[in-house]
Structure formats: structure tokens, C-alpha cells
Structure 1
Amino acid sequence: MGKATGFMEYVREEEKKRDPLSRLHDWNEYTFPFSTDTLARQGARCMDCGTPFCHMGIELQGLTSGCPIHNLIPEWNDLVYRGRWKEAFERLVKTNNFPEFTGRVCPAPCEGSCTVAISDPAVAIKGIERAIIDKAFEEGWVQPRIPKKRTGKKVAVIGSGPAGLACADELNQAGHFVTVYERADRIGGLLMYGIPNMKLGKDVVERRVRLLEKEGITFVTNIEVGKDLSVDELRKQYDAVVLCIGAQKQRDLMIEGRELDGVHFAMDYLTMTTKWLLTGEKDETFIDAKHKHVIVIGGGDTGADCVATALRQQCKSVVQFGKHPALPKERTNDNPWPQYPLVFTVDYAYEEAEAKFGNDPRQYCIQTKKIVGDERGRVKELHTIQMEKIIDDQGRAVFKEIPGTEKIWPCDLVLIAIGFERPEPQLLQQFGIETISKAYKTNVEGVFVAGDARRGQSLVVWAIHEGREAAKEINHFLMGD
């Protein structure tokens, strides 16, 4: 512990953000890294408490508390405070395969369970993590790690999101020959096409992929297993197979007018936008918000990313509908530390919308009743009603419509961002998978499942955890004790 009284002497500082209006003119990351002096102060705030809840990595009341990959947070905080950056990097990568991803896009459940956060703002763990790995790349400390010997065993990883990449990385370092299959044209899964450039630059993803290639992993793109390559043929070629295919079946909104032109899934919109930024090409299916009134249905992070994307495409207006009430300014009694804090925050997208249009785009407790189109079959308006959230006699939260609160919203583009249901079933069926155990095994010998495909829609950091743990089980299956 570098400075015993650091948490009392220094206040929490946030990463600097670019001006909200100016950053709407590009697609670059919106934050600046901490200065070295600031990082030393922030590292000094870590208490090195007797029980570091920041890396416990469990779920409390359905919310993640602490780091699921059990990062050695107090250790590298102390090393940053002391200026021992290379050692901090070495401690960081003991538990995290891709800190450049989590340091940018993770919601930082570690900070929610930080002991300092009992009474003061948490240690700036996420910003410190990003600074460590960015400096490591700048200094040339991140070098290919070539396995000293190979086992001769071959593993196929289907899906190249964070779970698939983490699993491939671990298995490769164990000496197995690993091939990653991706049906898209680029590696990265949702890291590449689901998270906008403003939060995670694609050069950051591609830098890691190039490193993994140098370490011996083979990547195959534009191949859909089960369609372009049969399941039987795949199993003949490999000693083990792991499906990291995500929970990509998007939850739909089954209401009148859903079929109208101009109503799209959020992930289709984000994917098309990223592909355009990477290639400079658009086709007739491209979804463009330029000069349109945009409504995003769904109050989560994906919805916020749609807001930010629409703003950069020069939309005429943008509104985001959420089912739940606005969160409170401070923790409530039923959301105590070390649970993840359910408190009101203003994400980057909302800062930008307020700077451009003068108001927060979020609308709370609102229910979409129907979508109405014009004579050409294009969406022209959306009908809603306000809802009231109450707790019934059984202690369950229920929503009731409030009569007289009906409203019509003019719109040209509707984006559905209400989450994901489950993995797409076709590939699981072709493998004959009926059950998946807690140990990532399936009822089919030598076939494993990890990531969102196993646990459902979750965080990038949970996906990395899943990939790492699945790799342990696969290695045990291949090598025994």
C-alpha cells in the first residue's frame, strides 16, 4: 500500500472527455487518458483493504459485484502509484487477456464494490486499467508469447467475440493448435460490430487480433459453421470444439406496425454503421439517420449507442424510450454496497444529445402501443402511453398504464434495442446439443459452450471469464491431469 492516507487526501478524478459537440463530427474515442500525475494520485486512493471486494466477482441480486476475472486491482494500483508501470502491466495480464477492451467498455462493477465507495467515490479502477495496458503497448512491453512446445491437439473455436478470443488465447498458450471460425468478414464479434468506435476503436481490436495471430492462432473469416462447413466435417478435423456464438437472437417488439419500412433492430443498425466506417461503402440496405426523427426503444447501453450513432449521422431529433423509472441520485436502502450501484448517470450519448438539442433524450416509464406508417408503408409516427411502476401484494414489480397520457411521436426511424433472448438455435441443433453443464460441457463428447451462448446476455468481462474457464475444462478433457 503506497500511501496509507491516500484515500483521505485525494479525491476521485474522472477521465477527461472531449467536448460533446465537437466529437459529433468524428467517430473517434471520446475520452482522453489520465496524465501520469493524475494516475499516481488515483492509484494512491486504493486502500489495499483487508478484504478487497473489488475483485470478488460474484452476482448479488442479479447484479455483478466485483471483477469476474478477479483482477489483482490493489496490487497494480499500488504499482502505478509507485511508478512501477511494467510490473503493474505484468500483474494486470495475469488475470485479464484483454485489458484494452475492459478498460474501455466494462461498466466497472469493481468500482461499485470498492471499499472506498462505502462513503466516498470509488477508486478510478477502470481508468487506471486502461492506462496500464495502453502504456504497455506504447513501451513495447506487449510482445507475442510463442508457446514453447505444442501438444498436437487441435481445437476449433466458433465465434470470435471476447469469450471466443479469451478461450483461444488460453488454449494456444497451453500448446494446442487453435483455429477460430467467424462468419463475419472481420474478427471480434460484438467487439468489432456491436460496440461503436466512440467507445472502442477498431484499431484496438485489430491490434490484439494481429498479436494473437503472431502467437499461433489461426483465424478464418466468412465461414459459417453448419452452412459453409458441416458440423460432421469440423468434428473430424478437431479434437475438441467450443461454441462461443453469443446470444445473438435479438428480442423483438411484437406490436402493430412492426413490419413497416424504417423499423429495425439496433444491432443491425450498429453493425452496418461500423462496416461503412471500415470500408467506406454503403448499399441500398444501409440504415441512415440523417435528417430523420429517430426513436430508440430500449433503455440500455445498446440504446445509448444508437443515440450516439444517430447524432453523428446528423439526425433531426432523437428520443430513447425506457420501460423503467429514472434511477435515484444515490443508492437506496435495497441497493446497499457492495452491490452494483443503481444510480442515475449521464452516459456519453446523453451528454451529446443534450449539447445538441438542449435536453436529455431519455423518456421513462413509457410503453409503445403501435407504430403507424404512411401510404408507402414507411413509418411516420409512434403511439405511446405512460406507465406506473408499482409493487403488488406478492412483492412483484408490475406496470400499469396511466389513462390520459397517450401521445403520438412523429418519427422516420425506429430502432429496437430491448436485448437478446438466447443463442441462435440452428448450430446447437446441428451439434445435437441438449444440455450444457456448469463446467461448459455439453451432452456431446468433446463439444463445449461458453460466453453469452451459455450464460445469456452479459458483460464483456463475464465473456472473458467464461472463455478462460472453458479453456481449463477443454485442456483437462484433452490432456487429463
Structure 2
Amino acid sequence: GLLRYGIPDFKMEKSHIDRRVEQMKAEGVVFRTGVVVGAAKDTLGKGSKVTNLAKETVTPEQLQGEFDAVLLTGGAEQSRDLPAPGRDLDGIHFAMEFLPQQNRVNAGDKVKGQLRADGKHVIVIGGGDTGSDCVGTSNRHGAASVTQFELMPMPPEAENKPLVWPYWPYKLRTSSSHEEGCEREFAISTKEFIGEKGKVTGLKTAQVEFKDGKFVEVPGTEKIHKADLVLLAMGFVSPVSPVLEAFGIEKDARGNAKATVDFNGGYATNVPKVFAAGDMRRGQSLVVWAIREGRQAARAVDEFLMGFSDLPR
């Protein structure tokens, strides 16, 4: 789902997904799309994208009765919000409201009232991959300007290898979207969304620095930035689907499915026959982690069903 609708086509062509899906179908995998698991469609909220797209509803009892094991890998889709004054103004959207619409259009679907950046001054709040995808998509729409905000200070252009190895190197990362055109602001915090007649027209910001374990505002650095479209790309905090509640899955402190990762009953939840892996278990992460956990969870399920497994760890 995220590969197809969350990552722009200019970053990953969907032919790669199509090829792998066809391979998996040939191997015997049955794909059922447009299915809501765990809740009636009318309980998901007015305007819910799930409500609009779902074709059928399946209960946990049905799945547990029909299958010998269930593996939950629904992802961590709850976007991190920015509850600053003026948040309810029109023109402020989560990145995952913006990006999937363009992917659907690229695929030939009709999207009524598509969110577009044509001729607009766009501000993207969040300096990660999702923010970069918003930058590239906005540029392709023909935005008047694109500015990306990052709360953290600007990293060095080259990492201190002896200091960070073997961990993820801390250095400035410039994507192809940035190179296409984007102003980047670091160590900046949004204090307020400003608007007229119910629509966002700008942001009030201040520079910040990290002191005593928290970010504090630098006096005298307040500034107003013009904005017609604001995209919130600050990461994801937990699964949004009601599937965990419907199955009765115990959650960890961050709201993710609680499941062990050891090789003795690995990836099993508190509910018999039900396993969890990927972002739904570990929280927001990378595709490579999803692949790793998928393979390990497959082995755990195989061991559960067969008593042993020849699958690699």
C-alpha cells in the first residue's frame, strides 16, 4: 500500500510492484483489496479514505475461523500532528492526504477535488523522506515556491565516521527533489498558522536551539512566512486501523502491536494464532526493516504451523 500510494512515481515506478505481485500470485498468494478488517465501514469516520474505498468488511472471528494463523502487518499510518494555533485553517494537510492523490491520478484514477500546489507558496514541515516527496510533487505541480522546515539544526555536510560508526551517519542529505528546487530552513519551529477568511496565508515561526534536553526559542527570531498550502510531514506515530482493538491485541507504550521478536514464539501477540510484524509492531521505520521482519515473521508462522522451519532467519 505505501509503496504504491505513499511513494511518488518519480521516486519508484509502480511496474516494480506489479511485477512482484504477479510473481506472488503465480506462487499461490491470493490478494483481496478494498477489505476493512475489524470494524464496520460506517464506524471509521466521515470522509475516511477507508470508508470511501472499502468494498467489504471482514471480522477477526471470520479470519480466525477460516485460517490457521493471521499475521498483522498494516503499518503505522497515524501521522504526527502539529497542534499550533490556526491548525483548523483550510490549506493545511497531512502529507499522506497529498501524496496518494497524485499517485492515483498517475495510475489513471479520477480524484475529485485533488489537492494541488499549482501556483501556490508551499511550506513542507518535516525534513525526512516524506517531506522530500512533498517537495518533489509540489514542484511537478508547478508551485510558485517550495520551502521545507526542519526542527533539527543543519547537519554537517560530511559525517564524523569514527564517532557514528556503525550507526546511521548524521550528515546533510540532499535528495533529487531538493536539487530540483527548494528552500530549506533548519532549527525552525512553527508557532502559529495565520489565515484570512478561514484559509491559511502564512506561518509565524521562530528559530530554536536545543538546551537542557528540550528545544527553546531564540529571542528576536520571529518571522512570518507566506504560505497557501502547508503539508505536515513529521513522521508517523502508530497504527490508525481499528484492527488491533478488534482482535484484542495488547499494545506497547507507543500504541503499536506488542509482539516478541525472539525466535521462540517470535512475532506472536497475546492473541492465539495472531502475529504482528513491520511498522504495525515496531513503529515508523524503513522498507528494509519491513522486509526483514516479514521474512522473520514468515519463519515464526511456519514454525508455529509445522513445528519446525527450513526458512532462513
Partners in 2 of 1:345 and 1:243 — Cα distance?
Answer: 33
Partners in 2 of 1:408 and 1:336 — Cα distance?
Answer: 36
2:62 paired residue among 227, 233, 241: 233
Say whether 1:437 aligns with 2:260.
yes
Partners in 2 of 1:480 and 1:202 — Cα distance?
Answer: 37
**8 A Cα contact 2:149 2:184, kept in partner:** yes
Say whether 1:319 aligns with 2:147.
yes
Question: How does 1:357-376 map onto structure 2 within 5 Å?
Answer: 360-375=182-197
2:23 paired residue among 189, 197, 211: 211
Instruction: Return the offset for 1:425.
Output: 5.5
Q: Quote the residue 1:449 is aligned against.
A: 276
Q: Percent identity?
A: 46
2:9 paired residue among 197, 204, 211: 197
Instruction: Return the offset for 1:456.
Output: 0.8
CA RMSD of aligned residues (A): 1.4
Which amino acid in 2 is paired with 1:474?
V
Please report the TM-score for the alignment, with normalisation by the length of structure 2. Answer: 0.86
**8 A Cα contact 1:436 1:449, kept in partner:** yes
Question: How does 1:17-56 map onto structure 2 within 5 Å?
Answer: none
1:389 paired residue among 197, 210, 216: 210
**3-state DSSP of counterpart to 1:470:** helix
Say whether 1:419 aligns with 2:238.
no
Instruction: Return the offset for 1:389.
Output: 2.6
Which runs of 5 or more structure 1 residues have no equivalent in the other structure? 1-188, 354-359
| Runs of 4+ off more than 4 Å | none
1:250 paired residue among 51, 62, 79: 79
Partners in 1 of 2:79 and 2:174 — Cα distance?
Answer: 25
**8 A Cα contact 1:389 1:399, kept in partner:** yes
Query: Which has more helix, going by share of residues?
Result: 1
Q: Call closer, same or farther: CA 1:200–1:366 in 2, change over 3 Å.
A: same
**8 A Cα contact 2:278 2:294, kept in partner:** yes
Q: Quote the residue 1:404 is aligned against.
A: 220
**8 A Cα contact 2:161 2:169, kept in partner:** no
**8 A Cα contact 1:335 1:342, kept in partner:** no
Q: Quote the residue 2:199 is aligned against.
A: 378
**8 A Cα contact 1:381 1:410, kept in partner:** yes
**8 A Cα contact 1:321 1:364, kept in partner:** yes
**8 A Cα contact 2:152 2:186, kept in partner:** yes
Q: Quote the residue 2:288 is aligned against.
A: 461
Q: Quote the residue 1:104 is aligned against.
A: none
Please report the TM-score for the alignment, with normalisation by the length of structure 1. Answer: 0.57
**8 A Cα contact 1:373 1:379, kept in partner:** yes
Deviates more, 1:265-274 or 1:338-347: 338-347
**8 A Cα contact 2:164 2:170, kept in partner:** no
Partners in 2 of 1:280 and 1:471 — Cα distance?
Answer: 34
Which amino acid in 1 is paired with 2:210?
K
Instruction: Return the offset for 1:335.
Output: 3.2
Say whether 1:338 aligns with 2:152.
no
Partners in 2 of 1:205 and 1:380 — Cα distance?
Answer: 39
Which amino acid in 2 is paired with 1:350?
H
Greater RCO (Cα-Cα under 8 Å, separation 6 or more): 2
Instruction: Compare CA radii of gyration and give the structure with the larger one.
Output: 1
Partners in 1 of 2:11 and 2:267 — Cα distance?
Answer: 30
Partners in 2 of 1:331 and 1:258 — Cα distance?
Answer: 36
Q: Quote the residue 2:122 is aligned against.
A: 294
Partners in 1 of 2:68 and 2:239 — Cα distance?
Answer: 24
Aligned pair count reads 280
Say whether 1:472 aligns with 2:299.
yes
Partners in 1 of 2:5 and 2:241 — Cα distance?
Answer: 21
Query: Which has more strand, going by share of residues?
Result: 2
Which amino acid in 2 is paired with 1:404?
G
Partners in 2 of 1:473 and 1:211 — Cα distance?
Answer: 23
Q: Quote the residue 2:244 is aligned against.
A: 428
Which runs of 5 or more structure 2 residues have no equivalent in the other structure? 40-56, 251-257, 309-313
Partners in 2 of 1:334 and 1:447 — Cα distance?
Answer: 43
Say whether 1:307 aligns with 2:135.
yes
Which amino acid in 1 is paired with 2:224?
I
